[in-house]
Amino acid sequence: MIDLLGYAAFFLSTALIFAIITLGLNLQWGQTGLFNVGVAGFVAIGAYTSALLTTPETAGRLGGFGLPILAGWVAAMAVTALVAGITGYVTLRLKADYLAISTFGVAVVTQLVALNARGLTGGPFGVAFIPRPFGALADRPALFNFTSCGVVLAVTVLTYLALEHLTRSPWGRVLRALREDERAAVSLGKSARSYRIQAFAVGGAVMGLAGAVQAHLIGFIAPDNYVPTLTFQVWAMLMAGGSGSNRGAVAGALVVWAVWVGAGALSAALVPQAFQARAAALQIVVIGVMLCVILLWRPQGFFGPRRRRTPGGG
Amino acid sequence: MAAMLETDGLVAGYEPGLPIVRGASIRVEPQEIVVILGPNGAGKSSLIKAIAGLVPISGGAVRLAGVEITRVPAHRMVQAGLAFVPQTENVFPLLSVQDNLRVSAGGLPRADTAARIEEMFALFPDLARQRRLMAGSLSGGQRQMLAAARALIVRPRVLMLDEPSAGLSPRFVEMVFARLAEIRRGGVTVVLVEQNARAALAIGDRAYVLVEGRVAHEAPAATLWDDPVVAELYLGQRSDGGR
Amino acid sequence: MALQFLLNGLIEGSMIGLGAIGVTLTYAILRFSNFAHGDFMAWGAYSTLMLVGLIGSAVGTVAPIGPLSFGWPLILAGLGGMVFTGCLALLLDWLLFARLRARGQAIVVVMASFGASMALRNLLEFAFTSSPTYFSRKIQIARPIGLGIRITPDQTVLLGMTLVLVVGMHLLMTYSRTGREMKAVSQNPALARVVGIDLDRIVRMTWLIGGALASAAGLMVGVLVQIRPLMGLDMLLPMFAAAILGGIGSVPGAVLGGLVIGLSQAASVQLVGAEWRQAVAFVILVAVLLVRPTGLFGVQER
């Protein structure tokens, strides 16, 4: 029984980390209309930054500064915000598609660095021995899972409240005005771009934080964790939850992660070992089709505000 | 006899439930020049764009020489015999003058195209000298000429123009309107939306005054200027609309 | 050895350029960057592979042509793959993109292409697994052509194919009615309708051409490197970079952009190693966006 609860706590922790990433994407896309196809890259940057700063010294790899976990998290947010801000600075005066392409590029290059810059990232083997909050409890798995879950929950709630506050602030109102009304954007001129860069950087910081928290939850990271599938899951979560609403982002993350894990467990139980890889591929196909179907028939998502995103013109 | 172009209680607008044209009925006889006037926002442009198939129509009918063309898609209007010259962005800036004409002559038989292009150059000799130039580098007046040539190349029965004189110098305005009168003598029916009422009425046969998407008044062009009803409906706005 | 990178770059650039033509046309005419374009490449390669198998089972083993690694079945299958991939692109447009386009939110179409890309790629993994396969496992002998450069017969023929396709595309865009109409639509879709251009026909042509050229690029990668479900995704960033470097909407620009990126990637292999290839494309992309976002042959967007 306690094991089951422990597993539930672990499941919830993972789902909540997705919720944090989705909250970051919601600020970028849902609130500001900025398209990010490189979510996985920003999450990876956060994870690696925090890991490098907090792990004990390791031979053959830079970093291992043994800093406190919280310092790692703050640095993760700062570095990711910087990368997101630069990406926004380069592309946000241009067409929306160029931001999408550039974020895709950021994710590809981050993946390359993670895989190949062994001296920095440990290469394909990744970084291990990342300190875990309340790591002293590790020999009591259930309790450890509960405390970890508590930490993730606290971070999620804080992020949620902070973003809700930002959304309601004058700053958030400007972002919504920019998204809804191009004339407002034009009248704001140069500062419109600056607002968008800020929103993109803050959203990136939230993703970086999520990456860092996850790294410290698992204690080990590798390039495989940050493939395009991750980006894609987060998009499915946001679209299912209904972009524009922080509550929807969290709900979407929980539901899609449950569906994902459920489908995985089901195929693990039903599909013979030899076909597991194929079943996993099919799982992604289904989510891909689901994303397209949501875009086609329910663009407001399942939990989102009941409003039409597009005027029925043209 | 059927009118050359006729709208019957036309309702049209970009967003459903928000019509800009609200039941406009006009009738244009063969080889007439009809001017459509009205205060800003009266729906003049939207009316001819709806006729051209560019603004969704939600009610009423459009007939061209007795044939209903209400739901004909915009790209088939040329074949139906209706040509339209938008107010702005009415040439392809990155195609040469010649290619602008060629791309607009798609509906003609291939053998006919080259000869027809030369006919257009004969009609607009200014353009002939610039045939290899990118249309984007033409002056405003030359662009209007090219836009008109582009519309005429398919031998339309009706030519509709949206503010052909907008942004042109007085010398060019005069030239454009003189050319329109010439085009009509060649057998083409002309429908004109114009802010420059004086110049348009000088060559027009009749005029409609549009207010809030409906026809508020109709009169021969020659007498319209002195019509008291019109003065009240439209000319009161002349200070900001009539230029 | 030193100059061999020129040939390698030319080949890599050809693959990128062929794909980038489709990217640039889709962007110019349909106004969105299609993230599924790389997967058209992979689908082209796999459909060609399937057709080769089909032909093989119908007529038995066919001897390769001269020193090449393949015979006429691959040529026939390659053409079939181009048709198939063009139709796949059409189908995807009809099912997904056209409906979203009608609502007028361009960036939602980009997102849908991202979802479609995931689905397409993983369908391939589902059907063929993620392990690479080959058209032929024959080792080809590279012959010296001077300056210390060596080239295999397959490479020669496929470079020739690229040249034919690129010149053909250029002629189509410059001298055919369809090409002129495509240019007209990319400059002003509303005016294009007014002058009597059937937008739906132009959209269909765009997808057919883009899909077919992606398939040809996929065939080239498949013959000269290998066939994998991820082969298209790996080419996506270089293709986008090439299209933007060349100037969106310009076919010669896309090809030239592809060659620049291909050569830079090949040159960088000597300096930083092959694994950093895509980073080179990214650096060029960012540089173009910073210095000249309209690209080499582009014009200011309206």
pLDDT at position C43 over 90: yes
Question: What single letter denotes the amino acid at residue B180?
Answer: L
Tell me chain C's radius of gyration from C-alpha atoms. 19
Residues of B in contact with C102 (CB under 8 A): none
Which residues have CB under 8 Å from C282's CB, separation 6+? A105, A106, A108, A109, C237, C241
pLDDT at position A157 over 90: yes
pLDDT value, residue B111: 82
3-state secondary structure C206-264: HHHHHHHHHHHHHHHHHHHCCECCCHHHHHHHHHHHHHHHHCCCCHHHHHHHHHHHHHH
CA–CA separation, A204 vs A78, rounded Å? 9
For the residues C117-144, what does the mean pLDDT come to? 86
Q: Is residue B33 part of a domain?
A: yes
Q: Is residue C267 part of a domain?
A: no
Question: Any idea which residue has 């020489």 for tokens?
Answer: B65
More confident residue, C67 or B229: C67
Name the residue of chain A whose CA is nearest to C121's CA. A285
Q: What is the CATH number of the domain that holds B36?
A: 3.40.50.300
| Cβ(A28)–Cβ(A244) below 8 Å | no
Name the residue of chain C whose CA is nearest to B51's CA. C194
pLDDT value, residue A202: 94
pLDDT at position C35 over 50: yes
Q: Is residue B19 part of a domain?
A: yes
pLDDT value, residue A212: 93
Query: Given CA atoms B145, B151, B155, B158 in this order, what sign does their dihedral have?
Result: negative
For the residues B63-75, what does the mean pLDDT come to? 89
- Model confidence at C120, in pLDDT bands (50, 70, 90)? very high
Name the residue of chain A whose CA is nearest to C288's CA. A90
For the residues B49-73, what does the mean pLDDT come to? 90
For the residues B144-162, what does the mean pLDDT come to? 91
For the residues A179-198, what does the mean pLDDT come to? 75
Q: For a pLDDT cut of 90, what percent of chain C falls above it?
A: 54
Q: What are φ and ψ of residue A222, in 5° steps?
A: -150, 155
Q: Give the tens place of pLDDT for each residue, B182-192.
A: 888 988 999 99
pLDDT value, residue A313: 32
Q: Is the CB of residue B15 less than 8 Å away from at least one CB of chain A? A: yes
pLDDT at position A312 over 50: no
- Containing domain of residue C57, as a range? 34-235
| Number of structural domains chain C divides into | 1
Q: Is the pTM of this model over 0.90?
A: no
- Model confidence at C299, in pLDDT bands (50, 70, 90)? low
Q: Is residue B130 part of a domain?
A: no
Tokens of B102: 């060629």
| Number of structural domains chain B divides into | 1
More confident residue, C103 or A164: A164
- Model confidence at A44, in pLDDT bands (50, 70, 90)? very high
Tokens of A6: 């422990």
pLDDT at position B232 over 70: no
- Model confidence at A310, in pLDDT bands (50, 70, 90)? very low
Average pLDDT, chain A: 84
Q: Is residue B161 part of a domain?
A: yes
For the residues C53-75, what does the mean pLDDT come to? 84
Closest by CA to C215, choosing from C5, C3, C47, is C47
What residues are paired with B12 via a beta bridge?
Answer: B21, B57
The distance of A151 to chain C (nearest Cα, Å) reads 33
pLDDT at position A189 over 70: no
Q: Is residue C199 part of a domain?
A: yes
For the residues C50-71, what does the mean pLDDT come to? 84
Which residues have CB under 8 Å from C214's CB, separation 6+? C18, C19, C22, C37, C38, C40, C41, C44, C85, C89, C232
CA–CA separation, A70 vs A50, rounded Å? 9
Average pLDDT, chain B: 85
Question: What single letter denotes the amino acid at residue A281?
Answer: A
CA–CA separation, A251 vs A240, rounded Å? 9
SS3 call for B192: strand
For the residues C33-54, what does the mean pLDDT come to? 94
For the residues A92-119, what does the mean pLDDT come to? 88
pLDDT value, residue A309: 43
**A116 → closest Cβ in C102, C126, C275:** C275
Closest by CA to C235, choosing from C41, C81, C78, is C41
Supply the DSSP symbol for A227.
Answer: S
pLDDT value, residue C148: 81
Q: For a pLDDT cut of 90, what percent of chain A falls above it?
A: 32
For the residues C120-146, what does the mean pLDDT come to? 85
Quickly count: other Cβ atoms within 10 Å of residue A171's Cβ.
Answer: 14
For the residues C153-157, what does the mean pLDDT come to? 87
pLDDT value, residue B19: 87
Q: Give the tens place of pLDDT for each residue, A206-220.
A: 999 999 999 988 888
Residues of A in contact with C112 (CB under 8 A): 291-292, 295-296
Q: Is residue C193 part of a domain?
A: yes
Query: Given CA atoms C144, C145, C150, C155 in this order, what sign does their dihedral have?
Result: negative
Name the residue of chain C whose CA is nearest to B154's CA. C195
CA–CA separation, C34 vs C110, rounded Å? 6
Q: Is residue B209 part of a domain?
A: yes
Q: Give the tens place of pLDDT for each residue, C234-249.
A: 999 999 999 999 988 8
Residues of C in contact with A277 (CB under 8 A): 125, 129-130
- Model confidence at B241, in pLDDT bands (50, 70, 90)? very low
Residues of C in contact with A239 (CB under 8 A): 111
pLDDT at position B13 over 90: no
Which residues have CB under 8 Å from A70's CB, separation 6+? none
pLDDT value, residue C301: 46
Question: In a 10 Å sphere around its CB, with 0-12 CB exposed, 13-18 middle and 19+ buried, how is residue A168 labelled?
Answer: exposed
Residues of B in contact with C181 (CB under 8 A): 103, 106
Question: What single letter denotes the amino acid at residue A5?
Answer: L
Neighbouring subunits of B (3+ Cβ pairs under 8 A): A, C
pLDDT at position C302 over 70: no
Closest by CA to C138, choosing from C123, C151, C152, C124, is C152
Q: For a pLDDT cut of 90, what percent of chain B falls above it?
A: 28
Tokens of A51: 């890991």
Question: Any idea which residue has 């895989």 for tokens?
Answer: A115
Range among A8-17, B120-129, C205-214 with highest mean pLDDT value:
C205-214
- Model confidence at B1, in pLDDT bands (50, 70, 90)? low
pLDDT at position B69 over 60: yes
- Containing domain of residue B20, as a range? 5-91+155-241
pLDDT value, residue C129: 83
- Model confidence at A191, in pLDDT bands (50, 70, 90)? confident
Q: Is residue C287 part of a domain?
A: no
CA–CA separation, B92 vs B103, rounded Å? 10
B202-207: long-range contacts, CB 8 A cutoff, minimum separation 24: B202/B177, B203/B33, B203/B177, B203/B178, B204/B33, B204/B34, B204/B35, B205/B32, B205/B33, B205/B34, B206/B32, B206/B34, B206/B35, B207/B34, B207/B35, B207/B36, B207/B37
Q: For a pLDDT cut of 70, what percent of chain A falls above it?
A: 90
Average pLDDT, chain C: 89
pLDDT at position C166 over 90: yes
Q: What are φ and ψ of residue B80, in 5° steps?
A: -70, -20
For the residues A148-165, what does the mean pLDDT come to? 91
